Amino acid sequence: MKIEAVDFFYLSMPVVTDAGDGSQDALVVRVHAGGITAWGECEASPLTSIAAFVCPMSHGACRPVAASVLGEDVSSPADIARIAATIQWNSMDLLQAAHTWSGIEIALWDLLGRQRGEPVYRLLGYDRAYPKLAYASQLFGDTPQETLESCSAVRKAGYRAVKCGWGPFGRGSLKEDADHLAAAREGIGPDGMLLIDAGQIWGEDVAAAEARLPLLEGVKATWLEEPFHGSAYAAYGALAKKTRSVKLAGGEAAHNVFMARHTIDYGRVSFIQIDCGRIGGIGPAKQVADYAAGKGVTYVNHTFTSHLALCASIQPYAGLADHRICEYPVKPQPMAWEMCATHIAPDRNGEIRVPDAPGLGITVDGASMKKYLVDAEIRVNGKLLYRTPSLD
Ligand SMILES: [Mg+2]
């Protein structure tokens, strides 16, 4: 199948705030090849990533992603890996290339799955997909009372695990953090799994993070996620030596396999969290899953937008029975929910399964996408390089 067209759709809520909520906008990718239409999604700044596809070449190691994709043949997973390697070489210094390519790569797996009548996880070599325990992924409230209420709500909705992140955590006093943690524990109940995401708040300040460890141990948190900048491996490694019951999680910032391996090898995380929409797609994420399994590190998906992205994020470890935890954005913005016509819902045990339908098994909702579609153009010296394509 020859890649005939790659179209990018920039979707956005009417108002975007500075909250750490990644579901406020999205970049959706549509690929046409061999008479099949397939879909993917980038985890990215949409317009910046579109520019990476169409921008003029800066020099030999900084070429637009389009130059390595359009017209290429895709008949097997090896073809996807071949195009990925070409982009890595041709777009070496084009820093948004990994994000842009990630959405295309996901769509190419969807394409192959649809063409072969197989779910993506089978194309990755897994015989079956195991159920994952969905953790309700949400932001801390502005006050401990709000944190308590949101954690109680997800508990009542049937979730057995919750993650609170970003918001005020780590920005104020130890007492304020302690109050939020106690509220989260009270909300999810004594037997619920509690996960905490610091959202890189301490940069590389190991002492600031270390000061929170007794608080996290006190509420029996399972992990502390992203205490530091995504590449501050030395800080991660130093903090890992100080941890006891609370383990470190990180990796969502990885936009290549090397960064993910460094997070494991030097950052010494116990949970490696990979976003397929950022690391270069499903193929590299599967490599990380295999690497993590070999090192005794638990693989976890990272995702915070639509169920198209959620579904893609589970494929790399769908067949790893012992890697059980799964991020499930519990309060996505209407745009992120409505852009898909089909969804992945937790069952009575709070577990989710990827669809067994061909490809990713998710149907997008074109009419809903139109409601949030941003009209954009990129023009250079009068020449139109990009215009929002039609969804019809
Ligand atoms: Mg996070």
Where do we find the tokens 């954005």?
Answer: 329
Confidence category of residue 392, pLDDT binned at 50, 70, 90: confident
pLDDT for residue 202: 97
pLDDT for residue 19: 87
Measuring CA to CA, which residue among 92, 87, 118, 124 is closest to residue 103?
87
Confidence category of residue 49, pLDDT binned at 50, 70, 90: very high
Which residues sit with Cβ closer than 5 angstroms to ligand 1, an ion?
197
Taking only the tens place, the pLDDT of each residue in 343-375 is 999 999 999 999 999 999 999 999 999 999 999
Distance 225 CA to ligand 1 centre (A): 6
In the predicted structure, residue 108 carries a pLDDT above the cut 90: yes
Distance 67 CA to ligand 1 centre (A): 32
Distance 226 CA to ligand 1 centre (A): 6
Measuring CA to CA, which residue among 234, 225, 228, 138 is closest to residue 183?
138
**Distance from chain centroid for Cα 166:** 16
- Alpha carbon distances (Å) from 93 to 58, 84, 87, 96, 166: 9, 15, 10, 9, 31
Whole-model pTM: value is 0.97
Distance 196 CA to ligand 1 centre (A): 9
| Residue with the larger pLDDT of the pair 331 and 114 | 114
In the predicted structure, residue 20 carries a pLDDT above the cut 90: no
- Alpha carbon distances (Å) from 262 to 277, 288, 349: 19, 11, 35
Distance 276 CA to ligand 1 centre (A): 14
Write the CB contacts of 28 (distance below 8 Å, at least 6 apart in sequence): 8, 9, 11, 39, 40, 41, 103, 306, 308, 339, 364, 369
Distance 137 CA to ligand 1 centre (A): 9
Taking only the tens place, the pLDDT of each residue in 187-226 is 999 999 999 999 999 999 999 999 999 999 999 999 999 9
Taking only the tens place, the pLDDT of each residue in 297-343 is 999 999 999 999 999 999 999 999 999 999 999 989 999 999 999 99
On average, the pLDDT of the chain sits at 97
What radius of gyration, in Å, describes the C-alpha atoms of the chain?
A: 20
Distance 76 CA to ligand 1 centre (A): 33
What b/e sequence results for 265-295 when a residue is b if at least 16 CB atoms lie within 10 Å of its CB, and e otherwise? eebbbbbbbbbbbbbbbbbbbbbbbbbbeee
Confidence category of residue 137, pLDDT binned at 50, 70, 90: very high
In the predicted structure, residue 286 carries a pLDDT above the cut 90: yes
Q: What are the φ/ψ torsions at residue 117 (nearest 5 degrees)?
A: 70, 30
233-255 average pLDDT score: 97
136-151 average pLDDT score: 96
Distance 125 CA to ligand 1 centre (A): 28
